């Protein structure tokens, strides 16, 4: 038989202060988890980029073949305020996902977008890849010397250069069109 004067702990409702305290604790936990994710992302990004050229590195003039068999040059000072150079390999699945996003960047006469193919066996492999993903920007054919000159150790990798050919941003891995656009605006 139960004691009528003794309150059952399970039947007590939490007070507003208890609920507020639990809500605050939950928010603090979520914020802490978000902070950990952001710090891990930043650390991973820094680790992936450790071999890329540093800000301020000057890129020399260069001329490379195009898919059409012509040649295209990068000369400094450039006609554009910024140049985005996107390095890819036709076998790269991340490139297959992220590269079409370059087509969605707003048309801006002050930004030149160039994709440079590396680590391919035949030009036909690059052409097939470009056709498959519907890429409609300028594509150049790189070589092992270009890969070494730009310190490319993984794909995709990209650089944003200023009018004088100096690196102002570099990154490696998946990037979204808004992320690439933002990097060209800074």
How much is the pLDDT for 27? 84
Q: How many CB atoms lie within 10 A of CB 154?
A: 15
Query: What predicted TM-score, i.e. pTM, was given to this entire model?
Result: 0.75
Query: What are the structure tokens assigned to 100, written together?
Result: 């079409």
Tokens 């994709």 -> residue: 115
% of the chain residues with pLDDT over 90: 55
Give the mean pLDDT of 108-132: 95
In the chain the first and final C-alpha atoms are separated, in Å, by 75
Q: How confident is the model at residue 69 (pLDDT cuts 50, 70, 90)?
A: very high
Q: Which of 25-39, 70-84, 119-133 has the lowest mean pLDDT?
A: 25-39
Looking at residue 135, its pLDDT comes to 94
Name residue, tokens 């139960």: 2
Single out the residue of 63, 47, 51, 17 nearest to residue 159, CA to CA: 51
Burial class (CB in 10 A: 0-12, 13-18, 19+), 155: buried
pLDDT digits 0-9 by tens, 19-38: 677 778 888 887 878 777 76
Parallel, antiparallel or unpaired: strands 138-141 and 82-88: unpaired
CATH fold, domain 62-185, is Glutaredoxin (3.40.30)
**Gap between the Cα atoms of 129 and 144, Å rounded:** 19
Each residue of 85-118: pLDDT tens digit?
Answer: 999 999 999 999 999 988 888 788 889 999 999 9
pLDDT grade, residue 131 (50/70/90)? Answer: very high
Domain boundaries, the chain: 15-48, 62-185
E strands along the chain, which residues?
62-65, 71-74, 82-88, 111-117, 138-141, 157-162, 167-172
């Amino acid at each position: 038989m139960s004691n009528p004067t003794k309150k059952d702990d399970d039947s007590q409702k939490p007070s507003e202060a208890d609920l507020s305290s639990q809500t605050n604790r939950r928010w603090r936990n979520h914020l802490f988890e978000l902070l950990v994710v952001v710090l891990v992302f930043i650390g991973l990004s820094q680790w992936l980029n450790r071999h890329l050229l540093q800000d301020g590195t000057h890129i020399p003039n260069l001329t490379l073949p195009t898919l059409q068999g012509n040649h295209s040059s990068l000369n400094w000072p450039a006609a554009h305020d910024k140049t985005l150079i996107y390095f890819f390999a036709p076998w790269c699945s991340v490139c297959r996902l992220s590269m079409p996003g370059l087509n969605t960047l707003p048309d801006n006469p002050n930004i030149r977008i160039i994709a440079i193919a590396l680590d391919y066996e035949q030009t036909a492999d690059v052409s097939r890849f470009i056709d498959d993903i519907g890429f409609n920007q300028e594509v150049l054919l790189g070589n092992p010397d270009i890969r070494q000159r730009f310190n490319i150790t993984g794909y995709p990798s990209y650089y944003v250069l200023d009018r004088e050919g100096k690196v102002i941003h570099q990154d490696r891995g998946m990037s979204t069109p808004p992320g690439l656009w933002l990097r060209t605006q800074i």
